[in-house]
Amino acid sequence: MPLLSVIIPVYNERELIRKVIARVEKALLPASFEREIIIVNDGSTDGTGEVLLSLEQKYQILHQKNTGKGGAVRAGFKLAKGDYIIVQDADLEQDPNDFQALLAPVMQGKADVAFGSRFLGKYLPQALTMNLHYLLNRFFTITCNLLSGYRTSDMWTGYKMYSRKALDAILPLFKSNGIEFEPEITILLSKLGFKIMDVPISYTPRWYAEGKKTNWKQAARSYVKMLGFVFRTIKY
């Protein structure tokens, strides 16, 4: 049976972690699919680790020192056994019911990795802060498209559905520990010649008061590092 691996990197999400796991468990998948859930506790300090201890007999749970989201995702990728792999953020900004739509082009051979685009869906930023995030995302995405040759509408998306082949190819080359891992992966996929396709997804943004963790300093570091990724020599 085909297996979908769902990687959940988590940092200080005590109030939401059980809910996100339940949503992933209930998400509809294509017929005959099985799923594995891998949770990486990235050095949480708010009691998330204690919540996860009670779930260790049911799920694969890795507790590690805080490395950043990229480090947590990479650790989860190394444990994943699935034919298809996706990262599910613990903040529930994305909806696990989009798994099927993201799987479709990869299963059909139309893409090696499907990018879940928030901006092809129904999301429209309304508040000033979220408009600024949108404009920053567009700037990063346009730059990354120029560097990679892709034409994605949402490079920063947390919902990327990987084929086993694509993940196996990029994993030994994927080095970033911070949020800059998203442009790093996009550029690696381009250098290795993999096909990507945008798929519309649902998106419910979380505000800073609700626990959103990205900030402008991370964005600035990510932009500098993104420019450097394109000059890396990749041995095929």
Mean pLDDT within 166-185: 95
> Residue 232's pLDDT is what?
82
In CATH, what number does 3-229 get? Answer: 3.90.550.10
> Residue 86's pLDDT is what?
98
106-133 confidence digits (pLDDT tens): 999 999 999 999 888 666 555 545 667 7
pLDDT surpassing 60 at residue 213: no
pLDDT surpassing 60 at residue 135: yes
Q: Which of 36-40, 180-184, 207-211 is least confident?
A: 207-211
69-89 confidence digits (pLDDT tens): 999 999 999 999 999 999 999
What are the extents of the domains in the chain?
A: 3-229
* Contact (Cβ atoms closer than 8 angstroms) between residue 39 and residue 52: yes
What confidence tier does 60 reach under pLDDT thresholds 50, 70, 90? very high
What are residue 61's DSSP bridge partners?
Answer: 39
Q: For 117-167, what is the HEC assignment? A: ECCCCCCCCCCHHHHHHHHHHHHHHHHHHHHHCCCCCCCCCCCEEEEHHHH
Sheet holding 84-87, edge to edge: 60-64, 34-42, 3-10, 84-87, 160-163, 113-117, 196-200
Angle, vertex CA 124, rays to CA 88 and CA 200, nearest 5: 50
